[in-house]
Protein backbone atom coordinates (compact mmCIF):
# COMPACT_ATOMS: atom_id res chain seq x y z
CA UNK A 1 0.00 0.00 0.00
CA UNK A 2 1.10 3.53 -0.62
CA UNK A 3 1.51 6.24 1.96
CA UNK A 4 -1.45 8.03 0.39
CA UNK A 5 -3.65 4.98 0.88
CA UNK A 6 -2.48 4.43 4.46
CA UNK A 7 -2.95 8.08 5.43
CA UNK A 8 -6.40 8.28 3.84
CA UNK A 9 -7.56 5.00 5.38
CA UNK A 10 -6.62 6.38 8.79
CA UNK A 11 -8.32 9.71 8.09
CA UNK A 12 -11.49 8.20 6.66
CA UNK A 13 -11.50 5.67 9.52
CA UNK A 14 -12.53 8.47 11.86
CA UNK A 15 -15.80 8.82 9.92
CA UNK A 16 -16.68 5.21 9.05
CA UNK A 17 -15.73 1.58 9.60
CA UNK A 18 -12.26 0.29 8.67
CA UNK A 19 -13.36 -1.68 5.59
CA UNK A 20 -15.21 1.23 4.01
CA UNK A 21 -12.36 3.60 4.91
CA UNK A 22 -9.90 1.25 3.18
CA UNK A 23 -12.05 1.02 0.06
CA UNK A 24 -12.40 4.80 -0.07
CA UNK A 25 -8.66 5.28 0.40
CA UNK A 26 -7.86 2.81 -2.38
CA UNK A 27 -10.31 4.55 -4.71
CA UNK A 28 -8.71 7.95 -4.11
CA UNK A 29 -5.25 6.44 -4.61
CA UNK A 30 -6.42 4.96 -7.92
CA UNK A 31 -7.77 8.38 -8.94
CA UNK A 32 -4.48 10.00 -7.98
CA UNK A 33 -2.51 7.44 -9.97
CA UNK A 34 -4.67 7.96 -13.04
CA UNK A 35 -5.24 11.72 -12.90
CA UNK A 36 -3.35 13.61 -10.21
CA UNK A 37 -0.07 12.17 -8.95
CA UNK A 38 0.54 15.33 -6.87
CA UNK A 39 -2.61 14.76 -4.77
CA UNK A 40 -1.86 14.63 -1.05
CA UNK A 41 -3.80 13.02 1.77
CA UNK A 42 -3.97 16.36 3.54
CA UNK A 43 -5.59 18.03 0.52
CA UNK A 44 -8.07 15.16 0.17
CA UNK A 45 -9.04 15.10 3.84
CA UNK A 46 -9.40 18.90 3.94
CA UNK A 47 -11.71 18.77 0.93
CA UNK A 48 -13.62 15.84 2.44
CA UNK A 49 -14.37 17.97 5.52
CA UNK A 50 -16.09 20.46 3.19
CA UNK A 51 -18.49 17.84 1.83
CA UNK A 52 -22.12 18.97 2.13
CA UNK A 53 -23.30 15.57 3.38
CA UNK A 54 -23.24 13.87 6.78
CA UNK A 55 -23.44 10.33 5.37
CA UNK A 56 -19.92 9.01 4.67
CA UNK A 57 -20.73 7.41 1.34
CA UNK A 58 -22.51 10.49 0.00
CA UNK A 59 -19.72 12.74 1.25
CA UNK A 60 -17.09 10.50 -0.33
CA UNK A 61 -18.88 10.35 -3.66
CA UNK A 62 -19.16 14.14 -3.60
CA UNK A 63 -15.42 14.32 -2.87
CA UNK A 64 -14.58 12.14 -5.87
CA UNK A 65 -16.78 14.26 -8.12
CA UNK A 66 -15.19 17.42 -6.78
CA UNK A 67 -11.68 16.08 -7.38
CA UNK A 68 -12.66 15.10 -10.92
CA UNK A 69 -14.21 18.50 -11.60
CA UNK A 70 -10.83 20.08 -10.92
CA UNK A 71 -9.15 17.78 -13.42
CA UNK A 72 -10.01 18.35 -17.07
CA UNK A 73 -8.74 14.88 -18.04
CA UNK A 74 -11.25 13.07 -15.83
CA UNK A 75 -14.66 13.24 -17.44
CA UNK A 76 -16.31 10.41 -15.48
CA UNK A 77 -15.54 9.86 -11.80
CA UNK A 78 -18.00 7.03 -11.19
CA UNK A 79 -15.36 4.30 -11.23
CA UNK A 80 -13.75 5.89 -8.15
CA UNK A 81 -16.95 6.16 -6.11
CA UNK A 82 -17.70 3.70 -3.32
CA UNK A 83 -20.04 1.56 -5.43
CA UNK A 84 -18.48 2.40 -8.76
CA UNK A 85 -20.93 2.39 -11.63
CA UNK A 86 -24.48 2.01 -10.38
CA UNK A 87 -27.24 -0.09 -11.91
CA UNK A 88 -28.43 2.79 -14.07
CA UNK A 89 -25.06 3.46 -15.69
CA UNK A 90 -24.19 2.37 -19.16
CA UNK A 91 -21.81 -0.56 -19.24
CA UNK A 92 -18.35 1.04 -19.61
CA UNK A 93 -17.03 -2.05 -21.41
CA UNK A 94 -19.45 -1.65 -24.32
CA UNK A 95 -18.21 0.67 -27.03
CA UNK A 96 -19.76 1.90 -30.24
Tens-digit pLDDT profile for residues 25-52: 999 999 999 999 999 999 999 999 999 9
pTM here is 0.84
- Give the long-range contacts of residues 15-19, CB within 8 A, separation 24 or more: 15/56, 15/59, 16/56
Determine what percent of the chain is predicted with pLDDT higher than 70: 86
Q: pLDDT band at 84, cuts 50/70/90? A: confident
Average pLDDT over residues 45-73: 95
- Give the long-range contacts of residues 46-50, CB within 8 A, separation 24 or more: 48/11, 48/12
pLDDT at 83: 81
Sign of CA dihedral 12, 39, 37, 34: positive
Q: Is the pLDDT of residue 63 over 70?
A: yes
Neighbour tally for 10: CB within 10 Å: 15
d(CA 83, CA 61): 9
Collapsed DSSP state (helix, strand, coil) of residue 22: helix
Amino acid sequence: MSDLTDDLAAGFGEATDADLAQTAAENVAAFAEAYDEELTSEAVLDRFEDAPYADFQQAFNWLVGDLAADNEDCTDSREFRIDGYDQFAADPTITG
